[in-house]
Amino acid sequence: MKHDSEPVPDWPEGAWPPGTRVRVIKDPDWDGPYPVEFYGTIAGTQVPFPVRNGRGHEGELVYEVRFDEPQHDSDGLGPYRGGEVWGRYLVAENTA
C-alpha cells in the first residue's frame, strides 16, 4: 500500500510532495477558485502537472488536494472533498 508521504514515480522535481499541508487561498482579483480559504493536503493519487491554460504562470503546476472539510467552489457547486488546484492558490503550511 502506498502512503501519501512516499513520492509517486515521475513526481516533478521541486514539486511539493504528497502529504504536504496547504492552505487554499482566494485570488485577490476574483471570488475564486473557492469563496473561502481552507486547509488540505497534497494527495499522492495524481502527479502534479503543468497548468494547461493560457492564464497559467510559467512552470505553474496543478496539484490534487484532499480538503480537510468538503468545500463549495465559487460557482456554488459541491461540496467537494478534494480537487485539482493551481499552485498559485496554495500556500504550504509550516508543520514544524
Can you tell me the distance from the alpha carbon of 41 to that of 58, in angstroms, rounded to the nearest whole number? Answer: 23
CB 22 within 8 A of CB 90: yes
pLDDT band at 19 (very low <50, low <70, confident <90, very high): very high
Per-residue model confidence (pLDDT) at position 1: 43
Would strands 38-42 and 61-71 be described as parallel, antiparallel, or unpaired? antiparallel
Per-residue model confidence (pLDDT) at position 95: 56
Can you tell me the distance from the alpha carbon of 89 to that of 93, in angstroms, rounded to the nearest whole number? Answer: 13
Label residue 39 exposed, middle or buried (CB < 10 Å: 0-12, 13-18, 19+): middle
Q: What's the pTM?
A: 0.84
Find the range with the poorest average confidence among 4-8, 9-13, 85-89.
4-8
Q: How far is CA 23 from CA 1, 7, 56, 68, in A?
A: 27, 20, 19, 10
